[in-house]
Amino acid sequence: MRQEKRCVSCGLVLKQRGATSFPCPNCGEVTLGRCRRCRDQGVAYACPACGFRGP
């Protein structure tokens, strides 16, 4: 069963326009997803692997 990609900040499923996914800038081990709303508002996120925090 395939798991849906979700925003690391709010948990929203990443299907809408403006959402993005990228490797963690610190460790590169995890792909982080961000929804458009959290990106626009600069909501904080944290990497579950290394704890890196960013907006």
DSSP 20: E
Is 55 part of any domain? no
Among candidate residues 4, 13, 52, 2, the one with its CA nearest the CA of residue 36 = 13
Question: What token pair was written down for 49?
Answer: 């692997």
| Interatomic CA distance for residues 47 and 45, integer angstroms | 7
The reported pTM is: 0.82
Evaluate whether residue 16 is within a structural domain. yes
Question: Which run of H or E residues covers position 39?
Answer: helix 36-41
Number of structural domains the chain divides into: 1
| Domain ranges, residue 11 | 1-49
The per-residue pLDDT string of the chain (55 residues; one tens digit each, 9 = 90 and over) reads 667 899 999 999 999 899 999 999 999 999 999 999 999 999 999 999 999 999 8
Residue 40 domain-assigned? yes
Q: Is 44 left (phi over 0), alpha (psi -120 to 50) or beta?
A: beta
Domain-embedded: residue 54: no
Judge whether 41 lies within some domain: yes
Evaluate whether residue 30 is within a structural domain: yes
